[in-house]
Amino acid sequence: MSPDTGNKFTEGGDDSLSRYLKPDSPEIKEIKSLQGKEYEYSDYLGTIEYSIARYFYENDRGIKDKDAVAALNNIKNNYDKKISFFEQDLEIEIIENLIELLEDEPISHQEFKLAIDYVLEVIDNRSWMEDEQAYLKWAAYVMGLFTEKEREEYETEIRKLAARMGFSSKHADLMLMKGEEEDYFEFVENYGAEGTEELTDEELIAEMEKRFLSMPEDEKFDFLLENGPEFYELVGLYLSDLSERGEFDKIQTLYRKLTEKYDNFLYLYVYMGGIYVEKDPSLAKSYFEKALETLDKLDELSDSTREVLRDQFLNLINKLK
Task: Say which amino acid occupies 146.
Answer: F
Residues 94-106: tens digit of each pLDDT: 999 999 999 999 9
Q: Please answer whether residues 157 and 168 qualify as being in contact, where contact means their C-beta atoms are separated by less than 8 angstroms.
A: no
Q: What is the per-residue pLDDT for 161? A: 76
Cβ distance 67 to 90 under 8 Å?
yes
What's the farthest any 2 CA atoms get from each other in the chain? 69
Q: Which domains does the chain have, with CATH numbers?
A: 17-140 (no CATH), 201-319 (1.25.40)
Q: List pLDDT tens digits, range 243-292.
A: 988 999 999 999 999 999 988 888 788 889 888 988 899 999 999 899 88
- pTM of the complete model: 0.58
Residue 191 is classified by DSSP as T
**pLDDT at site 174:** 65
- Consecutive 10-residue averages of pLDDT for the chain (321 residues): 43 75 92 84 92 95 95 94 90 93 93 94 80 92 91 85 63 62 53 50 67 82 83 82 90 93 85 88 91 83 74 85 71
User: How many residues comprise the chain?
Assistant: 321
The pLDDT value recorded for residue 256 is 94
> Can you give the pLDDT at residue 9?
47
Name every residue whose Cβ is closer than 8 Å to that of residue 212 and which is 6 or more positions away in sequence: 191, 220, 223, 234, 237, 238
